[in-house]
Amino acid sequence: MSAPVSTDCQATGTDCGATDEMDWLTPDQQREWRSLLAMLATLPSAFDAQLKRDAGLNRYEYQVLAALSEAPDRTLGLSTIAALTQGSLSRLSHAVTRLERSGWVGRRTCVDGGGRRTEAWLTEAGTAKLEEIAPGHVREARRLVVDVLTPEQLAALGEIARTITAAAAEADPERYGPLGSC
């Protein structure tokens, strides 16, 4: 069995003993992959900094408020919010606790056919806070993404993002599967 190809071999595009066991990225594929990784690291940090500066929130807390604002009656089950925000129930519980302390979210237990579940709702103060901070968040999205791309690039980015997200959901349906509600 041959050793894996080193990154030096990948970077130079030479065949340094590649085997049929591993289909390594080509230099072009690796360049694009690394560009994606850089974007995935840079954008969340930039949005976190903007939200912390302008609103004292992190990006995850903003996502929770936004998810609730788009829900019927501004209310969702915690498991649904966790799925929508790609967060664990533990992370969500901590975020909801912080948002509750600020008076922006409420939490209650409800009983349905499947048993007891917890749901959260967006308060009037939370709605007002979201309306206050959303314009700054949209400006940042425009500055970092929308306005630096042509309409064609933006459409391609959206299509690419949906394709990758669907592949991740298919690979791990337990994490990204159907959403429930309270």
Strand, coil or helix: 126: helix
Looking at every residue in the chain, the average pLDDT score rounds to: 88
pLDDT band at 11 (very low <50, low <70, confident <90, very high): low
Q: Is the dihedral of CA 75, 168, 41, 159 positive or negative?
A: negative
Mean local confidence (pLDDT), 121-144: 97
pLDDT for the residue numbered 9: 54
Residue with tokens 């306005």: 147
Residue 119 near residue 182, CB atoms below 8 Å: yes
Query: What is the rounded distance in angstroms from the CA atom of residue 62 to the CA atom of residue 127?
Result: 11
Is residue 65 predicted with pLDDT exceeding 70? Answer: yes
pLDDT for the residue numbered 6: 47
Is residue 42 predicted with pLDDT exceeding 80? Answer: yes
Rg, Å, the chain Cα set: 21
Mean local confidence (pLDDT), 27-32: 97
Is residue 13 predicted with pLDDT exceeding 60? Answer: no
Residue-by-residue DSSP string for 13-37: T--SS--TT--PPPHHHHHHHHHHH
Instruction: Give the pTM.
Output: 0.78
Query: What is the rounded distance in angstroms from the CA atom of residue 111 to the CA atom of residue 108?
Result: 10
Domains and CATH numbers, the chain: 56-174 (1.10.10.10)
Mean local confidence (pLDDT), 159-178: 81
Task: Tell me how far the alpha carbon of residue 96 is from its chain's centroid.
Answer: 17
Query: What is the rounded distance in angstroms from the CA atom of residue 151 to the CA atom of residue 115?
Result: 47
pLDDT for the residue numbered 176: 60
- Token pair for 83: 């799925």
Is residue 150 predicted with pLDDT exceeding 80? Answer: yes
Q: Alpha helix (H) ranges present in the chain? A: 7-12, 27-55, 59-69, 78-85, 89-101, 124-144, 151-171, 173-176
Question: Which positions ≥6 away from 55 have C-beta within 8 Å?
Answer: 62, 129, 132, 133, 136
Q: Which residue has the higher pLDDT, 8 or 171?
A: 171
pLDDT for the residue numbered 161: 94
pLDDT for the residue numbered 171: 86
Mean local confidence (pLDDT), 71-99: 94
Mean local confidence (pLDDT), 2-14: 51
77 bridge partner residues: 119
pLDDT for the residue numbered 170: 87
pLDDT band at 95 (very low <50, low <70, confident <90, very high): very high
